[in-house]
A and B are shown apart, each in its own frame.
Chain A
């Protein structure tokens, strides 16, 4: 047995113990996502499906359409489905597997854990966009369409970033709200469909839809082109309702939840 397990135990003295830096908590959260089978395969799936979408478009689209912005655009939909699931898993696996008991014992200030999870979710979202840019750029080079880099700039990359960041955060928020993987995933995917159904039947709904239907107000983000001030305002309101509000309420819930 080494000295580390036979030495005398000192009395409790907190003076020499710094608190755990946030960077370390974020690192642990990133690792937790990748060290289980479900998490690892979700990450692999995001990578593979992003690449597959680009490859399929490469062969399916006419030569003139094989430009960078189109390649980027084609990755938006599959990533938009999978990144929220990642956000949900990041939170809910702690509850379904009951590891929250250990996590909150090692970090009793629960808000720090949630902030670390939000940061980790954004890191994964950013990584997905970097991957999309790389794959799209590679496909663009291989395609050799005339003027393939048209209309791109920080503006379009920025819009993709907003789109995927809000998706992964919305997933995380639904996770915090429900603390149950199945409930969070089902709600996340059913709510937009229910919205469309209601809007198609109830005409009054159609007028406010751009303001309350996030899926609707996010469309300009990946369709390209300039967004009007009203469109930005609609995006902001939708994001407030479907991302910010659930994060706030979920945050509050987790701070008070009895961890079993």
Chain B
């Protein structure tokens, strides 16, 4: 439904998005994962026609966003929950959207109810909203026109764990009903919870994409012990790989049973021994984050 092909965007010498291609299909929640400044927001802005591409194109259902009549009725967009007039009430923000799209006023009440903003909260000015409430309002705004596609930039930002759980339920249900969801996040855990498919982007390039199961499935073992140096030496002596991973542990290509045997022979007490699961993805993501973290949080 969403199709991005060979998308490149440069600002002067800076390449923000570098030959990015991916698809986001109906019935799926696609997570767009990358550190701050990786090009997620730029890609989404191009997708909804706010920024011009340098090369390549992005279409929704085969259409350029700008060619879609009354686009709010087809594509729900939330790019920045804080980009609202602080002096308007939550209800007024939705009312302006509903009027633009030509929707009945009852739709505003339905959406407020859907995102659990109470009538009292809806009467308050957005200036007094927490980031979590703004996100809920932004989701309500995106869903106003009963769209078939959702494009959400960092929608879980500012939500507490219960809020993230709620959003997972909402988006899961939306996708199950046949909707297409593309959402971005700079937090692996968030995307892991909400998305079915992942696109990992770093420095403007896609570094991995696939279903969550594919990407999280990492062969090997995660192991942590009271004496990591001794363990690493023992594993190495037995001809097994040992890559530092996660918090104070190692990932090895060998089976958990073999790693356990080596540790027992070396007399190193283990604290944790399990199949590696998402460790590979986590390492890759940490690597990406480390590369860009020095530049600071710019968006």
Our verdict on whether A and B bind, yes or no, reads yes
**In the complex, A24→B101 CA distance in Å?**
9
Counting contact residues on chain A (CB < 8 A from B), the size range is: 35 or more
**In the complex, A109→B80 CA distance in Å?**
20
CB-contact partner of B101 in A7, A37, A99, A106, under 8 A: A106
Contacts A1-B114, A9-B178; A259 near B1 (Cβ below 8 A): no
**In the complex, A12→B24 CA distance in Å?**
13
- Return chain B residues, CB-CB under 8 Å to A24: 99-100, 102
Contact B50 A18 (CB under 8 A): no
Contact A9 B174 (CB under 8 A): yes
Binds A, one of B83-91, B224-232, B264-272: B83-91
Counting contact residues on chain B (CB < 8 A from A), the size range is: 35 or more
In chain B, positions 161-179 with a C-beta closer than 8 Å to chain A are 174, 177-179
Contact A102 B84 (CB under 8 A): yes
| B97: interface (CB < 8 Å) | yes
Main secondary structure on chain B at its contact with chain A?
loop
**In the complex, A25→B97 CA distance in Å?**
11
- Return chain B residues, CB-CB under 8 Å to A101: 50, 79-80, 83
| B207: interface (CB < 8 Å) | no
A248, chain B: closest CB distance, angstroms:
21
A136-149 interface mask toward B, CB cutoff 8 Å, 1 = contact, 0 = none?
00000000000000
CB-contact partner of B96 in A12, A17, A28, A38, under 8 A: A28
| A104: interface (CB < 8 Å) | yes
B42, chain A: closest CB distance, angstroms:
10
Could you say which of B26, B50, B100, B179 has the most chain A C-beta atoms within 10 Å of its C-beta? B100
| A4: interface (CB < 8 Å) | yes
B58, chain A: closest CB distance, angstroms:
13
| B40: interface (CB < 8 Å) | no
| A158: interface (CB < 8 Å) | no
Contact A258 B61 (CB under 8 A): no
- Return chain A residues, CB-CB under 8 Å to B51: 258
| B129: interface (CB < 8 Å) | no
Contact B107 A102 (CB under 8 A): no
A85, chain B: closest CB distance, angstroms:
16
Query: Which are the 10 A-B pairs with shortest beta-carbon distances?
Result: A12-B61, A98-B83, A19-B69, A36-B87, A97-B85, A108-B66, A9-B178, A101-B83, A9-B179, A108-B49
